[in-house]
């Protein structure tokens, strides 16, 4: 909560003037019953018409002044609320973009989306209403009580009983409401997750005719959300009837007491009406305060969730210490090879193990091999053996749990992440293109790329021909690249990585949708690029057999290492993979 309140420091002026002008409005409102009392007494005593008109003009002036200061207060409150929520969204977005894969896996995509949208919107509403009403309502409540004492002390004693009782009820309901609304937001996370999964997996759901199952699942989660929302709202709504009961009892007591004192001549009729007006003001403000408390309760729950998403708790549990940005004043690039003790190996896996967050066993165990600069490395193995996990350790997508991963003779955990990734080009398993143009997608890899650089990358990735047919570099790309086939998306992603001109290129099963001839041409073009260390992840033996060395994985462990010919002789796992894809040649008799 302290982190949340610190954002208001950038809006000190707005945070001051919004409640200040609301307090001015409250003062004007507290004066109104006194003027009405004067008008009633003037009518009763037969005072001149001019006096009554004068007091009426005073009421009109107070109304216009109150309107002006109210609009001004709402302007400052809205400006502060929108400004803070905007900064919160930017900060949370930056935090999410800085998270590693383990942190995102732990937090959950649906939860992060909910916190960036619904939770921050709730915080925005809470700030707006807090600046406008949090001080105004109590000031009017206690101000009305004080003003009642200036009119008649005996009648005002009723206020001294009613107001504390109301305060205790409001505080008690608020205390129990905050955890309830936190639970409501958790149910909202589940609904968001289910909706997101249904939208992204709609084709799978239809293919297996699971529409009814998913509808039932959504209805169940939605019903849980509805019940929790109703329960929390009903509990908070108790404030209204309880407030009405207490205020109405106090009003009845005031009417009884005031009538007696008017009859005996201790107070005038105007004074009695003024006291009743002050009680009415208290009733109105308590109703406002009740709604404000509901909003603040929701906002506090949402603010707590946003603060946790922006805090370090997820980072620590996810092993985020491996993802820090080291001192940016490093004297040399990690990939330059200019270290104090030059290493013959450009990249070295020294008995490396890796484990996913909250997992009970290692995804990779005791991986040990060295890579020379400019060489090519093939990673092959069965489904789920840890191929993608292995290459994701190099750009620090996931942390190393045991052993050492060295790049350019430096421990990868001692290299700034931005510096490390600046020399890498990664093509992930899932081909992701962004809405825009082919040019905007290619410049993600290199903002300073020229048209010539992009054209060369397109030619190397074997996609220059279809890009030209679609209109060149300025051809439209729909969200997710829906207007391209799977193979075209893969080739464009490869081109995006090549535009970067990386020293380390990682192709994570990025040619699975390509035919053998196109794949062969792409690899021939990549082989022409000097001093580029290439990692190729594939389940196809044909994709890795030409690599300088091949790493064979089985169940997260290194089952073999060597060239294609060496592995065929010495590695049964590789031999099985190879001959499951190629016809075994019988020895000549």
Q: Within its chain, how far is the Cα of 458 from the centroid?
A: 35
Q: Which DSSP symbol is given to 431?
A: -
Task: For residues 333-349, give the mean pLDDT.
Answer: 55
Those residues with Cβ within 8 angstroms of residue 234's Cβ, 6 or more apart along the chain or in another chain: none
* Residue 390 pLDDT level (bands cut at 50, 70, 90): very high
Instruction: Check residue 498 and give its pLDDT.
Output: 92
Integer Cα distance of 463 and 430 in angstroms: 18
Name all domains of the chain by residue range, CATH numbers in brackets.
11-310 (1.20.1560.10), 347-423+502-579 (3.40.50.300)
Contact 153, 266 (CB under 8 A): no
Instruction: Check residue 3 and give its pLDDT.
Output: 54
Integer Cα distance of 357 and 319 in angstroms: 8
pLDDT digits (tens, 9 = 90+) for 371-387: 998 899 999 988 888 89
User: Which of the two residues, 318 and 436, has the higher pLDDT score?
Assistant: 436
Instruction: Check residue 2 and give its pLDDT.
Output: 57
Instruction: Check residue 493 and give its pLDDT.
Output: 93
* Residue 335 pLDDT level (bands cut at 50, 70, 90): low
Residue whose tokens read 């700034």? 416
User: Which of the two residues, 244 and 564, has the higher pLDDT score?
Assistant: 564
Instruction: Check residue 4 and give its pLDDT.
Output: 55
Using the predicted structure, report yes or no on whether residue 587 has a pLDDT greater than 60: no
Task: For residues 528-552, give the mean pLDDT.
Answer: 89
Those residues with Cβ within 8 angstroms of residue 215's Cβ, 6 or more apart along the chain or in another chain: none
Residue 436 bridge partners (DSSP)? 477
Lowest mean pLDDT across 1-15, 117-131, 511-525 = 1-15
Lowest mean pLDDT across 56-60, 85-89, 152-156, 473-477 = 152-156
The length of the chain, given as a count of residues: 589
Structural tokens at position 308: 């946790």
Task: For residues 49-68, give the mean pLDDT.
Answer: 87
Instruction: Check residue 367 and give its pLDDT.
Output: 92
Integer Cα distance of 22 and 367 in angstroms: 66
Using the predicted structure, report yes or no on whether residue 72 has a pLDDT greater than 90: yes
pLDDT digits (tens, 9 = 90+) for 422-439: 888 999 888 889 999 999
Contact 505, 526 (CB under 8 A): yes
pLDDT digits (tens, 9 = 90+) for 450-484: 999 999 999 999 999 999 988 889 999 988 888 89
**Has this prediction a pTM greater than 0.85?**
no
Contact 100, 398 (CB under 8 A): yes
User: Which of the two residues, 378 and 586, has the higher pLDDT score?
Assistant: 378
Structural tokens at position 206: 């239809």
Q: With the C-alpha atoms ordered 269, 272, 273, 274, is the resulting torsion angle positive or negative?
A: positive
Instruction: Check residue 328 and give its pLDDT.
Output: 40
Task: For residues 508-518, give the mean pLDDT.
Answer: 86
pLDDT digits (tens, 9 = 90+) for 14-53: 888 998 998 888 888 888 888 888 888 788 776 667 878 8
Using the predicted structure, report yes or no on whether residue 355 has a pLDDT greater than 50: yes
Using the predicted structure, report yes or no on whether residue 352 has a pLDDT greater than 70: yes
Instruction: Check residue 584 and give its pLDDT.
Output: 64
The mean pLDDT of the chain is 82
Integer Cα distance of 219 and 225 in angstroms: 10
Integer Cα distance of 427 and 519 in angstroms: 14
Using the predicted structure, report yes or no on whether residue 227 has a pLDDT greater than 60: yes
User: Which of the two residues, 358 and 129, has the higher pLDDT score?
Assistant: 129
Share of the chain above pLDDT 70, in %: 91
Instruction: Check residue 326 and give its pLDDT.
Output: 41
Q: Is 371 helix (H, G, I), strand (E, B) or coil?
A: strand
């Amino acid at each position: 909560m302290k982190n949340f309140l610190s954002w208001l420091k950038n809006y000190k002026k707005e945070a001051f003037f919004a409640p200040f002008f609301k307090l001015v409005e409250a003062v004007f409102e507290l004066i109104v019953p006194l003027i009405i009392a004067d008008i009633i007494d003037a009518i009763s005593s037969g005072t001149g018409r001019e006096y009554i008109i004068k007091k009426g003009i005073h009421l009109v002036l107070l109304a216009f002044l109150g309107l002006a200061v109210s609009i001004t207060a709402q302007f400052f409150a809205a400006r502060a609320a929108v400004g803070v929520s905007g900064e919160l969204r930017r900060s949370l977005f930056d935090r999410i973009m800085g998270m590693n894969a383990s942190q995102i896996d732990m937090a959950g995509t649906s939860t992060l989306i909910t916190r960036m949208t619904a939770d921050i919107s709730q915080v925005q509403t809470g700030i707006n209403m807090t600046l406008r009403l949090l001080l105004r309502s109590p000031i009017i409540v206690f101000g009305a009580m004080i003003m009642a004492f200036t009119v008649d002390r005996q009648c005002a004693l009723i206020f001294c009983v009613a107001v504390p009782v109301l305060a205790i009820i409001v505080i008690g309901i608020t205390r129990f409401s905050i955890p309830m609304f936190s639970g409501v937001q958790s149910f909202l996370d589940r609904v968001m997750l289910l909706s997101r999964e249904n939208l992204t997996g709609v084709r799978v759901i239809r293919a297996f005719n699971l529409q009814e199952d998913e509808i039932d699942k959504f209805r169940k989660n939605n019903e849980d959300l509805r019940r929790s929302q109703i329960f929390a709202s009903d509990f908070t709504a108790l404030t209204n009837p309880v407030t009405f009961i207490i205020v109405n009892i106090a009003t009845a007591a005031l009417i009884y007491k005031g009538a007696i004192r008017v009859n005996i001549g201790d107070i005038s009729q105007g004074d009695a009406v003024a006291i009743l007006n002050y009680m009415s003001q208290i009733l109105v403000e308590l109703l406002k305060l009740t709604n404000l408390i509901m909003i603040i309760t929701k906002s506090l729950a949402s603010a707590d969730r946003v603060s946790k998403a922006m805090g370090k708790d997820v980072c620590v549990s996810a092993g985020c210490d491996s993802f820090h940005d080291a001192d940016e004043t490093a004297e040399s690039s990690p990939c330059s090879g200019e270290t104090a003790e030059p290493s013959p190996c450009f990249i070295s896996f020294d008995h490396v193990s890796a484990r996913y967050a909250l997992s009970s066993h290692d995804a990779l165990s005791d991986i040990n091999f060295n890579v020379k600069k400019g060489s090519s490395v093939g990673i092959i193995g069965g489904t789920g053996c840890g191929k993608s996990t292995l290459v994701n350790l190099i750009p620090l997508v996931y942390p190393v749990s045991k052993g050492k991963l060295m790049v350019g003779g430096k421990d990868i955990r001692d290299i700034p992440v931005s510096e490390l990734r600046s020399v890498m080009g990664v093509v992930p398993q899932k081909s992701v293109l962004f809405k825009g143009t082919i040019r905007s997608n290619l410049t993600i890899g290199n903002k300073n790329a020229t048209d010539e650089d992009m054209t060369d990358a397109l030619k190397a990735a074997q996609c220059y021909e279809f890009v030209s047919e679609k209109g060149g570099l300025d051809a439209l790309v729909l969200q997710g690249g829906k207007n391209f086939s799977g193979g075209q998306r893969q080739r464009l992603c490869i081109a995006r990585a090549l535009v970067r001109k990386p020293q380390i290129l990682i192709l994570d099963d990025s040619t699975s949708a390509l035919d053998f001839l196109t794949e062969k041409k792409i690899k021939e073009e990549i082989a022409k690029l000097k001093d580029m260390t290439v990692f190729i992840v594939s389940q196809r033996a044909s994709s890795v057999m030409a690599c300088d060395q091949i790493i064979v994985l089985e169940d997260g462990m290194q089952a073999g290492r060597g060239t294609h010919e060496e592995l065929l002789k010495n590695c049964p796992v590789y031999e099985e993979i190879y001959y499951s894809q190629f016809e075994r040649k019988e020895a000549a008799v």
